[in-house]
Amino acid sequence: MTKVLTDTRSIRIKGRSFLALVLSPEPPLDAWLTRLDDLASRSAGFFLGRPVVLDVADLEIDRAELKKLIDELGKRNVRIMGIEGGRPSLFEPGMPPAMKGGRPAPDIEIPDGPSIEPVGTASPKATAPDVSAEPQAARGMSSIVIREPVRSGQSVIFPEGDVTVVGSVASGAEIIAGGSVHVYGTLRGRALAGSVGNASARIFCRRLEAELLAIDGVYKTAEDMAPNLRGQAVQLWLEGDSIMAERLN
C-alpha cells in the first residue's frame, strides 16, 4: 500500500555561505589574549556580534585548554561559531562544531610600489568579519563601485574582488574586500583588504583618517599609523608581516 503525504507543513533547509572572522591563537595564550584585548580596546566593537571561527591547526592544545580558551573568549564577547583544524579528540557535546573547507579568494596581480615607508610591526592575524553588505553586489563580479558615502554603522562586504567608494567612509563604517579597497574621499572608518586570503591586495585613499586597516589579516589601528600619513593621500600594501605605506602625489 502506498501512503501519500498530504501535510504541506515542511521544514525548509538551505545552504548559505557567510564571511566569518578567523582567530588563530598563538602560544603563550595569555600573551595572545592580552594582544587581543589591546586590539579590542583600540577598535571598539570590532568583535561585537561577529561570527568567529577559532583556528587551532597550529596550536598544541588539549580539550581542557581549548574549553578554557573558549570561555576566555566568551568573557570578551567573542562568540565562537566553529573550530577549524582541531583533531576529533578535542571535541565533546556542547562545544562549537568542527569546521573545514573555507574558500580562499583568487590572487590579484598588483605592481610593486617605488618607495616604501613602514607603518609598524605586524600584529595578530584576523580575517574580515561577517556583516550585512550595503549595497549588495551581484555574484560573479570582480569589483563593485559604491557611488555614495558609506555612513557610520554601515558595512560593505565584497569577498569576490575590489571595492571602490566614490565618496568617504565615515567613522564607525567599514569596507571589507576580497581584493583591494579604493576610497576617493576620506577614510575614517575601517578598511579590510584581502579579507579571505589575498596578500597582494592594497588600500588606497585620498585622505587617511582610518580607525583600523587590515590586509590579508594583518591589521593596524589608528595609534599604530605613522603621524605623517594622517590626512594624506596614501596607498598601503603588505610585505611579509608588515603593512607598508607611501604618500600619493
Is there a shared CATH topology between the 21-99 domain and the 117-247 domain? no
State the pLDDT at residue 126: 40
Contacts of 168 (CB under 8 A, 6+ apart): 149, 150, 183, 185, 186, 187, 188, 207
65: exposed, middle or buried (Cβ count in 10 Å: 0-12, 13-18, 19+): middle
Q: Which of 155, 196, 150 is nearest to 170 (CA)?
A: 150
Tell me the pLDDT band of 222, cut-offs 50, 70 and 90: confident
> What single-letter amino acid sits at 234?
V
Determine which helix (DSSP H) or strand (DSSP E) holds 71, and give its type and residue range.
Answer: helix 63-75
State the pLDDT at residue 196: 79
Tell me: pLDDT of 9 over 90: no
Tell me the pLDDT band of 109, cut-offs 50, 70 and 90: very low
The mean per-residue pLDDT over the stretch 159-176 comes to 92
The mean per-residue pLDDT over the stretch 224-236 comes to 92
Tell me: pLDDT of 16 over 90: no
State the pLDDT at residue 185: 96
Q: Enter the pTM of the model.
A: 0.60
Q: pLDDT tens for residues 50-106?
A: 788 899 988 999 999 999 999 999 998 888 999 999 988 999 998 999 887 665 433
State the pLDDT at residue 125: 41
Tell me the pLDDT band of 201, cut-offs 50, 70 and 90: very high
| Phi, psi (degrees; rounded to nearest 5) at 29 | -65, -35
Tell me: pLDDT of 115 over 50: no
Supply the DSSP string of 78-144, one letter for each residue: --EEEEES--GGG--TTSPPEE--PPPPPP---PPPSS-EE-------BPPPP---SS---TT-SEE
Q: Where are the domains of the chain?
A: 21-99, 117-247
Cβ atoms within 10 Å of 213's Cβ, excluding its own: 26
Q: Which residue has the higher pLDDT, 193 or 8?
A: 193
Tell me: pLDDT of 8 over 90: no
Report the percentage of the chain scoring pLDDT > 90.
43
Judge contact between 163 and 141, C-beta under 8 A.
no
Share the mean pLDDT of the chain: 79
| Phi, psi (degrees; rounded to nearest 5) at 177 | -130, 140
Distances (CA, A) of 38 to 32, 33, 187, 206, 219: 10, 9, 22, 28, 12
What is 21-99's CATH topology? Alpha-Beta Plaits (3.30.70)
Whether domain 117-247 has CATH 2.160.20.70: the reply is yes
Tell me: pLDDT of 227 over 70: yes
Supply the DSSP string of 137-181, one letter for each residue: --TT-SEEEE-S-B-TT-EEEETTSEEEESS-B-TT-EEEESS-E
